[in-house]
Chain A
Amino acid sequence: DAGITQSPRHKVTETGTPVTLRCHQTENHRYMYWYRQDPGHGLRLIHYSYGVKDTDKGEVSDGYSVSRSKTEDFLLTLESATSSQTSVYFCAIRPGLAGGHSYEQYFGPGTRLTVT
């Protein structure tokens, strides 16, 4: 258990409304990631963070923004939700480089978002 929680776990929202998803970790990891999972696509990286206030875009960042004001929280915001953003969203962390450098990521339980 990597100490990752996501909230909410399920959300239904209407097109055009703003939505914020939260990822919270308890172990002070520097690197955090947001992915979306869609059938036939596996997981695709939306945004990632390499420290407080340090974020960068992934491969599918259009329509999404992120913020990281504290080490433990990484927020994903859909400024104006669209039906194409209906998906399951996963947060992940990467432990630091102490010890072995296998660079693995550990995932939260996911948030299922439906945009109607």
Chain B
Amino acid sequence: GEDVEQSLFLSVREGDSSVINCTYTDSSSTYLYWYKQEPGAGLQLLTYIFSNMDMKQDQRLTVLLNKKDKHLSLRIADTQTGDSAIYFCATRHSGGYNKLIFGAGTRLAVHP
């Protein structure tokens, strides 16, 4: 079945850029999403990209999509301590009622 994989942990220094990577198996995924989860909270939609795009920028966030390699990345510029959270990559399942397939999440730790 469909699978989404992410590295589990990333540590960066405050002010540096963070890059969180994701690979997926469903080549027919039409939309790909990044969600952020802070401790004790639900998931917050950060951004998404449609599969006919290869890049999307939204303020400090840049999403890159390589469809050939089925690779998605989220770059956070000028990372702040408030960016410390778990980041989930998700793909829209190509069949059925808009099922999303989630990765296990990447925990981003920002240190001074």
Contact = CB atoms under 8 A, between A and B. Distances in A.
A42 B43 contact: no
Interface of A: 31, 40-45, 48, 50, 56, 58, 90, 94, 102-110
Nearest to B2: A59
Contacts of B48: 102, 104
A45 B99 contact: yes
B92 A43 contact: no
Interface stretch (B58-66, B69-77, B100-108): B100-108
B97 A43 contact: no
Q: Looking at chain A's contact residues, is the secondary structure mostly helix, strand, loop, or mixed?
A: strand
25 contacts: A31-B98, A41-B104, A42-B4, A42-B88, A42-B102, A42-B104, A42-B105, A43-B88, A43-B102, A44-B102, A45-B100, A48-B97, A50-B97, A58-B99, A90-B42, A103-B30, A104-B33, A104-B45, A105-B45, A107-B35, A107-B42, A107-B43, A107-B44, A108-B42, A109-B42
A44 B2 CA distance: 12
B88 A103 contact: no
B45 A56 contact: no
Interface residues of B, number: 24
Given A90-B42, A102-B48, A56 B88 contact: no
Name which of B42, B45, B48, B88 has the most chain A CB atoms within 10 A of its CB.
B42
Q: Looking at chain B's contact residues, is the secondary structure mostly helix, strand, loop, or mixed?
A: strand
5 closest residue pairs by CB, A with B: A42-B102, A107-B42, A107-B43, A43-B102, A42-B104
Contacts of A40: 8, 104
Contacts of A103: 30-31, 92, 98
Contacts of A94: 98
A109 B43 CA distance: 8
Interface in B13-63: 30-31, 33, 35, 41-45, 48, 50
